[in-house]
Copies of this chain bind each other. A is one copy, B any other.
């Protein structure tokens, strides 16, 4: 490998560093995946857009799915790095400010890059799927939250927004419990109720 790099430098003086070339292939793939979907994108189209020979693709990736996996890992690591950097602009002892930084950076990055997010995490265009079903359940929760707010039982100025957070928190907590192999719903429901009761305190 070292030998080959040395030869390349002699023969093609304008050869780019390996990591830049890899990134250019990934950028080309990301653009094409967003524009026309993963299915419709060929390796030929990726190398054409990146302006490299087809063999160069196979130097870095073995399949189209391989470059998709690399994009997924890069999205996740980039999110972590940037959110972590935003948190670290605030002193370690100012915990509330650090949580705020996490949320501001996280929301900003996700909203700015959701097209790439959807391509790498939802290959089958899941974003708009099952919206009716989800909205029905969030609507049920929002009605419950609005009724309590009207009676002064708790504080929920925007019941629709709170319902989204409660619904997703519920969904994620159960997903996590299933992944951990937990069997008893009672402690999970109790922990959720405690958290959401605090969130709704007047």
Interface of A toward B, CB cutoff 8 Å: 72-73, 75-76, 79-80, 83-84, 87, 92-93, 95-96, 98-100, 102-104, 106-108, 110-112, 114, 121, 123-124, 126-128, 130-133, 136-137, 140-141, 144-145, 147-148, 151, 153-155, 158, 161-162, 164-179, 183, 185-186, 188-189, 191-193, 195-201
Contact = CB atoms under 8 A, between A and B. Distances in A.
A199 B75 CA distance: 29
Contacts of A147: 92, 95, 98
Copies in the complex: 2
Contacts of A140: 80, 83-84, 102
Give chain A's interface secondary structure class: helix
A108 to B, nearest CB: 4
